[in-house]
Amino acid sequence: MIKVINPANGEMIRTYTQTSPEEVMEIIEQSQQAFEEWRSVEFPQRAGLMKNAATYLRDNSERYAVMMAEEMGKPIKGGRSEVEKCAWLCDFYAEKAEGFLSPEIIETDATKSYVTFKPLGVVLAVMPWNFPFWQVIRFAAPALMAGNAGVLKHASNVPGSALVLEEIFREAGFPKNIFRTLLIGSKQVDSVIENPLIKAVTLTGSTPAGKAVSSKAGEMLKPTVLELGGSDPYIILEDANLKNAVAACVTSRLINSGQSCIAAKRFIVVESIKDKFESLFTEEMRARKMGDPMDETTDIGPQARFDLRDELHQQVSSSIDKGANCLLGGKIPDMPGAFYPATVLTDVQDGMPAYNEELFGPVASIIPVRDEAEAIKVANDSIFGLGAAVFTEDIAKGERIAANEIEAGSCFVNTFVKSDPRLPFGGIKESGYGRELSSYGIREFVNIKTVFVK
């Protein structure tokens, strides 16, 4: 039995029955059967159904936003934005998939030679709770448009969202079993990967989870895409527009109540502007409202689970014990729910959790550096490599640092990192491998096949 706890008040919302091993096998077999027919459906028909999914998402936006608020504490205005972004993604691939997967003619000594992009089959998606709709749609829209089937193992605290995602594709008119949900625990994932009908695996989540899933998939010789943790560095150089930099930094740090892989986490500030940046940054963090996720004015909801909130607090406390200075927050509030306040730590150094680990919550780490060279060195001094940003009025310098110096899958200049259907998304180092979104994402789970006719 799966119990869903509302993190805003600690009360149980509802329970769900887990999918039995026999039901798991049956669902996978049904998905394979659906794939055998779906793979031959022409792109215009697939696109029409994906457009239907976008419409269904928008029509039910409020219901889905409430569900996210109840299951994992997302502020309701953030839930609405997430649903709209999902609809945008569906529209994007409905319009672009055929072009992305059109055969590529290659001139050789053959009469005709070209490359085609054909679906693999049933793809398993292991997805997290922090963006319970977006992370799934980000995989499902391109995978289905490419002709694959999808089977979802969602996080155990968002089973309602998992079942609704299955509903969306069914109500949009897709074949009944082309996208299915498995309500199973993490211990059952290995057996699903071992199923010969599963042809590939994608995971968004923690680095340890990614290592475990990729190890099993590698054993079975199945391709994977991993989008894992991040400790995104934001470099603030001495010629930065501090007003704009602070606004972007605070917005990024508090996205989804701080629970985002690509949220800004380490703020690397040149010493000459450190005091001014700290003052403006702390003032802006203090102004953000923490409270009921159903309140339209709330900026910071509860953390998704009590154990995650407590783990975050332990990282903060340990960093303070090791010498970090706490300018704001840093204490568990005396109120119901898994809340943690906006927190600012400064004088963060190597050896502290706030420097070396991912802090998945509304906690900012300010790291002072002497100059640009040290800022780049500190930015790259991480096991992660997902996103990064640079703030400077010298656009050419910012672009040079972003393009050539920072070790990350994405690096933005004078704004915060965000995913966009038009651009590839993913990381390096322990932030994972492979890419989602854009033309690169839809080609991850296809057979890139050479055809040579003499």
How many other CB atoms are found less than 10 A from the CB of residue 271?
12
Sequence length of the chain is 454
What's the token pair of residue 320? Answer: 């303070």
Provide the sign of the torsion angle of the four alpha carbons 24, 26, 27, 29, taken in this order.
positive
261 in catalytic set: yes
The β-bridge relationship of strands 112-119 and 343-346 is: unpaired
- Which of the following is catalytic: 70, 71, 82, 227? 227
- Rounded Cα distance between 265 and 366, Å, is 9
Burial of 137 (0-12, 13-18, 19+ CB in 10 A): buried
404 Cβ contact partners less than 8 Å away, ≥ 6 residues apart: none
Instruction: Please state, in angstroms and rounded to a whole number, the distance separating the CA atoms of residues 47 and 95.
Output: 7
Establish whether 411 is a catalytic residue.
no
318/85 Cα distance (integer angstroms): 37
Angular region, 25: left φ>0, alpha ψ -120 to 50, beta rest: alpha
Residue of 261, 358, 430, 444 marked active site: 261
Distance of alpha carbon 214 from alpha carbon 138, whole angstroms: 19
Going from the C-alpha of 403 to that of each of 252, 264, 284, 397, the distances in angstroms are: 21, 18, 29, 10
Alpha carbon distance 434, 238 (integer Å): 35
In whole angstroms, give the CA distance from residue 400 to residue 419.
21
Taking the C-alpha atoms of residue 448 and residue 383, their distance in angstroms, rounded to an integer, is 31
Specify the DSSP element, H or E, that contains 210. Answer: helix 207-219
- Write out the catalytic residue numbers: 227, 261
